[in-house]
Chains A and B, each alone.
Chain A
Amino acid sequence: MKNEWPLWEVFIRGQHGMSHRHVGSLHAPDAEMAIKNARDVYTRRNEGVSIWVVEAAAITASSPSDKGPLYEPSESKVYRHPTFFDIPDEVGAM
């Protein structure tokens, strides 16, 4: 059982103009087969116009324990949102 096919993550563009979105994973011996398998597993009902596959082992992900240091700093920077600023009604849409 040491010969298990590697795991691939599958990303599909649902419609023209949208970005590719992660839909799931599958096993395949190589990238070409991964695309073919992805077509059978994830697009049986016209769910896609384009497929990306990438070996799961090649993905680097942030760690859940880093959630604080990574995302908390932006919580205090409310001025990054346009609603922070009051614009007088007389000025009109901005």
Chain B
Amino acid sequence: MYAQMIKSEATQDDPEKLAAFQARIDAGEKIEPKDWMPEGYRKTLIRQIGQHAHSEIVGQLPEGNWITRAPTLERKAILLAKVQDEAGHGLYLYCAAETLGISRDEMTEMLLDGRMKYSSIFNYPTLNWADIGAVGWLVDGAAIMNQVPLQRTSYGPYSRAMIRVCKEESFHQRQGYDVIRRMAEGTPEQKKMAQDALNRLWYPSLMMFGPSDKDSVHSAQSMKWKIKMNTNDELRQKFVDQTVPQAEYLGLTIPDPDLKWNEERGHYDFTDPDWNEFFDVIKGNGPCNADRLAARNKAWKDGQWVRDGMLAHARKKAARKHAAE
């Protein structure tokens, strides 16, 4: 999931208004930007949608890394389209967050100086072409788990952004599976690369859903407000159940010796990721945290003159038109 550990903000609003608001949500009504909403709902959503948007944008970096080195022109065109979609997803989400009273530039600045986060997964590197397959298959697969239920979230603009995202996300996962399938069915060396990518990205993908429910203290309020639709463990289980047969089809092995089907539960039992590693990555100590933030800061700084220049040009044109009238 692209938003992790979103703390629900406390709310100190008129209890009567709060009750009426909750009744609207319970009745399945959508909350729209100009409607009254508790301050905590607004702030939690800004943080959650903002983090989701930042994840889409930063998520372009590990994949963009391989655009120039894609093995064929077709793969290159496909990867380019996928990375362009990620930019689009970021923009849909920024616009949804902006309806809550924060500007796009404010959110960008908060990402750049570390006040806002993006998903832990993008702090891992893409070392080779097999990783591009694994990212599409596992990372986008995990993201879909979370995004599909969020189409029903209570906040109208967020829900509509998720509907657009989900329409496009399936292409991402399928292209990833197609890349890794081609490698798994290739030469022994290629198959080894596919297995190696799965080995390295499996646990970071499981971390995407956030800490275990027993350690996840922020869920209750968000679930009541329908801005979080499932618990972290529910989604993680669903992801494992869906992914194991896909790996089996490829002849690849999930790097978990304790993974096995539990007939009684009707689910796979599996090993949790190393949560110390997760918290360390969140704190900024993952393999690529510094690189990712440096790349975003550089892009923002290097683009400043373009943004300023285009705005100056637009203002000049408007003034000239005004003078001519």
Contact partner, A41, options B36, B91, B106, B318, Cβ 8 Å: B91
Within 8 A of B (CB), among A1-59: 1, 3-5, 7, 24-27, 29-30, 33, 40-41, 44-45
When distances are taken between beta carbons in the complex, the residues of chain B under 8 Å from A24 are: 92, 95, 160-161, 164
Interface size on B, residues (CB 8 A): 29
Check: A61 CB closer than 8 A to any chain B CB.
yes
Q: Are A7 and B313 in contact (CB under 8 A)?
A: no
Q: Are A64 and B34 in contact (CB under 8 A)?
A: yes
Bound Cα distance from A64 to B24, whole angstroms: 14
Bound Cα distance from A42 to B81, whole angstroms: 14
Contacts A4-B104, A7-B98; is A41 near B88 (CB within 8 Å)? yes
Check: A63 CB closer than 8 A to any chain B CB.
yes
Q: Are A4 and B105 in contact (CB under 8 A)?
A: yes
Bound Cα distance from A64 to B34, whole angstroms: 7
- Looking at B120-128, B145-153, B189-197, B303-311, the stretch in contact with chain A turns out to be B303-311
Check: B85 CB closer than 8 A to any chain A CB.
yes
Q: Are B32 and A64 in contact (CB under 8 A)?
A: yes
Check: B103 CB closer than 8 A to any chain A CB.
yes
Within 8 A of A (CB), among B290-325: 307-308, 310-311, 313-314, 317-318
Q: Are B314 and A29 in contact (CB under 8 A)?
A: yes
Contacts A41-B88, A64-B35; is A3 near B308 (CB within 8 Å)? yes
Q: Mark B140-183, 1 if CB is under 8 A from A, else 0.
A: 00000000000000000000110010001000000000000000
Q: Are A26 and B310 in contact (CB under 8 A)?
A: no
Interface of B is mostly: helix
Bound Cα distance from A24 to B161, whole angstroms: 8
Q: Are A44 and B311 in contact (CB under 8 A)?
A: no
Q: Are B91 and A30 in contact (CB under 8 A)?
A: no
Check: B84 CB closer than 8 A to any chain A CB.
yes
Q: Are B98 and A26 in contact (CB under 8 A)?
A: no
Contacts A24-B95, A64-B32; is A44 near B310 (CB within 8 Å)? no
Contacts A26-B91, A27-B104, A30-B318; is A63 near B34 (CB within 8 Å)? yes
Residue of A nearest to B157 (CB): A24
When distances are taken between beta carbons in the complex, the residues of chain B under 8 Å from A40 are: 84, 88
Check: B185 CB closer than 8 A to any chain A CB.
no
Contacts A4-B104, A41-B91, A44-B88; is A25 near B311 (CB within 8 Å)? no
What are 20 inter-chain pairs, A to B, with CB distance below 8 A? A1-B109, A5-B307, A5-B311, A24-B164, A25-B98, A26-B91, A26-B95, A29-B310, A29-B311, A29-B314, A30-B310, A30-B313, A30-B317, A33-B310, A40-B88, A41-B91, A44-B85, A44-B88, A61-B34, A63-B34
Binding site for B on A (CB under 8 A): 1, 3-5, 7, 24-27, 29-30, 33, 40-41, 44-45, 61, 63-64
18 new A-B pairs (CB below 8 Å) besides A3-B311, A64-B32? A3-B307, A4-B105, A24-B95, A25-B95, A25-B98, A26-B91, A26-B95, A27-B104, A29-B307, A29-B310, A29-B311, A29-B313, A29-B314, A30-B314, A33-B310, A41-B91, A45-B168, A64-B35
